[in-house]
Structure 1
Amino acid sequence: MVLTTHLPVLIVLLPLSAALLCTFLSKIMGQLGKILVIASLAASFLCSAGLLYQVFQTGEHTIHYYMGNWAPPIGIEFVIDPLNGILTVFLTFIALCTSVYCICFVQNKSFIQSGGFYALLGLLTVGLCGMTLTGDVFNLYVFLEVSSLSCYGLVAMGGKRSVLAAFRYLLIGTIGASFYLMAIGLLYALTGTLNMADMAALLQGQMHSPLVILACACLVGAFGIKMAIFPFHIWQPDAYSYAHPGASALISGAMSKVPAFAMIRFFFFIFGIRHWIIEDVTEILGILGAVGMIFGSLMAIRQTDFRRMLAYSSVAQLGYVALGIGIGNLYGVTGSFLHILNHIFMKGGLFLIIGAIQYRFGIVDIRHFGQLHKKMPVTCFSLVIASLAMVGIPPAGGFFSKWYLLTGAMDRQLYIYMFVLIASSLLNAVYFLRVLEKIFISPASAELSEKGKVPKHLELPLTMLIPLLIFGIGNIAMGILNSGITSNLILPTLQGVF
């Protein structure tokens, strides 16, 4: 009973403890630190699943956990509702899959490389889960920095070109963090509190203040940079392309989604959509999202490096999330949040795929993928499913988030947004069909020569193959479970806002 009471803090505490011990234990016994981090992420996933179940057992569908039994607004609290509950389940799940997937990449590495890698992986998970669960705006900043610093390290571990990409990411990410600090400083000056619920109540009579307008501008800059939406995306293509191939799935699948969720929390749950300032800010976000969807898709078409194609595709996909925020009604924000969940599986799975191709053949150029399906059938199966989900072909999950976005745009008669949604999906089809054409139709490539150690009768080691298959099936499962997720988790929570 005591254990279940402390599930919110255990989600963060278990991987944090394992990450801090990882390098030291790796020095004592090569595999021990890695095993500890993987076990802690598995336990964190089980805790998050148990916590989501607890949310449904409460009458109000909300759980409050006070750190040190200090009640807010003085103390720091974790607040768990269906939205951040399911997002935490997804985050810990992708972190667990990534940690298993990475085993082959760090095998036979030094204890510093192996232990340091898994320590950073654990810390990244800590930061992402902490940002998702916290009910305190400054505590969110602390976890934002934990996730950012660990992400910089994981990007830098990708090789020679990755160091410069990590440094550029660090500089621009620091600007984003500074914008966020300025925003919460302004809001604290206005309300005298850092607790989200308390701040939301105190702001309602002060939304006319110029400090609110300035804080909103800072938040757009902060989360825009962290999400990598157009035009704040300049750090992202290099960071995603040159990051450690084992960690790219977690970085691309989760790192930009939590700031997107934080943006939804600020503009809809703290500020409230019913004020003209927030309506104008979200409209700006919608315009940036629409432009980013087209820009990212066009840039993706131009790429021959599969990693870079996926990076620009993420600029477009985060545009969908911003567009849903810009639509600003129940269906638009539902589509936005559902696309966050779908994108974790879609883009996370795609970066697992390119990492697997790198591991086995050492190639990332799409032009060298000829007849890849004959040597990596399971990998190509997952690629087909993820591609269909990205384009928005049912029954894959990507179709349903786009459907909600279209419904929201239609409800508000934003026909230009409807046109952009359809055009962006068609552009998605162009660059993913090009990849599939290379894999299934083009002549066999001479570059498909073995680089990694592959077991007999298997295209990849099982630790890589199983996560790939899980994410491929997950994209279909997200479509099948769409109705249950939206009707039981997303819509009931958002209906209180709209």
Structure 2
Amino acid sequence: MTGLMSHAPVLAIIIPLLGAPVCALMRGTTFPWLLTLILSGLSFYVSFDLLLHVSEFGPVSYHIGGWPPPWGIEYVADPLSAFVMLIISGISTGVLLYAKESIASEVSSKHLGLFFAAYLLALTGMMGITVTGDAFNIFVFLEITSLSSYVLIAMGVTHDRRALTAAFQYLIVGTIGATFVLIGVGMLYLMTGTLNIAEITDQFDTIADTRPVRAAVGFLIIGIAIKLAMFPFHIWLPNAYAYAPNIVTAFFAGTATKVSVYLLIRFIFTIFGVDFSFEIVSLSELLMPLGIAAFLSMSVVAVFQDNLKRLLAYSSVAQLGYMTVAIALASESGLTASILHIFNHAIVKTGLFLAVGAMFFRMQSTQISDLAGIGQRMPLTSMAFVLGGLSLIGVPLTPGFISKWYLLQAVLERGDLLGYALAISMLISSLLAVIYIWRVVEQMYFKPSPEGAATGEAPWTMLVPVWLFVLGMIYFGIETSMPVGYAEQAAKFLMGGQP
């Protein structure tokens, strides 16, 4: 990379960060939205260019202010972080294409400048978590993301006062998770005398068999699990998704929990190492049961939900269970499946929540019982939801099938009883997904519309982005070389191979 793009690792963060205070000063609907869209699009372009460079030439190390680590702060773009940065900025830009009409109907125009400022700060925080090579800065960016998230969720109060309760619940639980992360980072600093991730990694083997380090590992895993909404730490997520403005739900469903999965992978495979994580402290014995419990129990809970956003929220916790199990396999194939599912689930779940937002725009409700006959009244939106639902189930030629196929290969690779039990559990979970998606489809297509119900699609400015995600699902369900290639490259890099 030459010229301005040689600063790509920091540009992807600086661009939305500098735009946030400008948005906060803006009034009206169009200008803050348009500025946020442009800045997110620029960040996406920078991330795409960075991923291509990393894929061809290897990891990029950027020293802030020209100060080399450990004296200065380092940003590192490797095959995993560059791929996740692309996902975050891409999902953000896609959601913003949809956002103008949607958010104007849910948030007062006098607050839109502040709303988009918080949105840009959330984007900044997630991008920063992904690229920083400094352990303390992970906490700093985590807090930037969290604080802006609380504001964005609370903005849903215009339509439902329960948004305030959801934001407060997330604040309490999220603060506990962030505190655990900070304590873990502090203990690592106590034992190594550095916050640079590369230097901590270099020293880790010499201090691994000490109580402070083992305690640090415990605090970090639990703190990240809370932020990740890993079962049973998921209590904040259903309410946050259900009562936040629709574009916030779509944005977070595609990015926030995925960043936490990234953090879990980063700490386990980069800092702690495979041998320590899975042989000395046996993290598989913790992560595997929790992952299985997540995708089985949360799929059951989703079956009984009356609110469509809550149904999809519990489905997200179940999908996070798949990612957790894939990590717990402690193999290159399992890691590939987890990283691939980050990408595929981000596209699918964002598209589903945007489709639900379009329904809400017309119906002013996301109660499943209020969607009777909507398949005839909003055929394009309903079809988009059905196609996304098929991907959640794992029907062939969908991204969900590709993710489950790679995970199935990874579990059967074990060749033991646990591997076969995992395969059966995945089948049961997929059958449960059929049930909860069918409940919605039945209401949409096989129930009569109530008299006087709103008719007509959402505005094209909302419908087109929904179908962009749907077409993305179709494309990446058939042409898998790009996401699979990047996932395999990242997994090989993390397992000690060359990128």
TM-score in same-fold range (> 0.5)? yes
Q: What per-residue deviation string (whole Å, max 9, x for no partner) do you get for residues 6-40 of structure 1? A: 111111111111111112132xx653332211111
1:6-85 superposed matches below 5 A: 6-26=7-27, 31-58=30-57, 61-85=58-82
Report the CA distance between 1:158 and its aligned residue.
0.7
Tell me if the contact between 2:192 and 2:200 (Cα under 8 Å) persists in the aligned partners.
yes
Tell me if the contact between 1:176 and 1:223 (Cα under 8 Å) persists in the aligned partners.
yes
* Residue 474 of structure 2: aligned partner: 476
C-alpha spacing 1:387/1:204, structure 2 compared with 1 (3 Å) = same
Q: What per-residue deviation string (whole Å, max 9, x for no partner) do you get for residues 29-85 of structure 1? A: 653332211111111111111111221331xx2111111111112211111122221
Tell me if the contact between 1:99 and 1:121 (Cα under 8 Å) persists in the aligned partners.
no
Give the one of 97, 101, 110 matched to 1:100.
97
What's the TM-score, normalizing by structure 2?
0.94
C-alpha spacing 1:278/1:408, structure 2 compared with 1 (3 Å) = farther
Q: What per-residue deviation string (whole Å, max 9, x for no partner) do you get for residues 145-168 of structure 1? A: 111111111110112110011001
Unaligned 5+ residue runs, structure 1? 451-457
C-alpha spacing 1:496/1:39, structure 2 compared with 1 (3 Å) = closer
1:46-445 superposed matches below 5 A: 46-58=45-57, 61-107=58-104, 110=108, 112-159=110-157, 160-275=161-276, 276=278, 280-412=282-414, 413=416, 414=418, 415-445=420-450
Aligned AA (2:14)? L
Alpha-carbon separation, structure 1, partners of 2:108 and 2:364 = 21
Identity, % of aligned pairs? Answer: 37
Cα-Cα RMSD: 1.7
Alpha-carbon separation, structure 2, partners of 1:442 and 1:278 = 56
What's the TM-score, normalizing by structure 1?
0.94
1:222 is paired with a residue whose SS is helix
Alpha-carbon separation, structure 2, partners of 1:128 and 1:371 = 39
Tell me if the contact between 2:103 and 2:245 (Cα under 8 Å) persists in the aligned partners.
no
Report the CA distance between 1:431 and its aligned residue.
0.5
Tell me if the contact between 2:230 and 2:294 (Cα under 8 Å) persists in the aligned partners.
yes
1:246 is paired with a residue whose SS is helix
Tell me if the contact between 1:272 and 1:278 (Cα under 8 Å) persists in the aligned partners.
no
Q: What per-residue deviation string (whole Å, max 9, x for no partner) do you get for residues 227-262 of structure 1? A: 111110111111110011221100122111101111
Q: What per-residue deviation string (whole Å, max 9, x for no partner) do you get for residues 109-157 of structure 1? A: 6554110111111111111111111111111111111111111111101
Tell me if the contact between 2:343 and 2:483 (Cα under 8 Å) persists in the aligned partners.
no
Alpha-carbon separation, structure 2, partners of 1:165 and 1:492 = 38
2:274 is paired with a residue whose SS is coil
Alpha-carbon separation, structure 2, partners of 1:253 and 1:278 = 33
Range 62-71 or range 407-416, more displaced? 407-416
1:194 is paired with a residue whose SS is coil
2:234 is paired with a residue whose SS is coil
Alpha-carbon separation, structure 2, partners of 1:103 and 1:187 = 44
Alpha-carbon separation, structure 1, partners of 2:65 and 2:305 = 51
2:207 is paired with a residue whose SS is coil
1:74 is paired with a residue whose SS is coil
* Residue 453 of structure 1: aligned partner: none
Structure 1 moving runs of 4+ over 6 Å: none
1:483-498 superposed matches below 5 A: 483-487=481-485, 489-498=486-495
1:158 is paired with a residue whose SS is helix
Report the CA distance between 1:191 and its aligned residue.
1.4
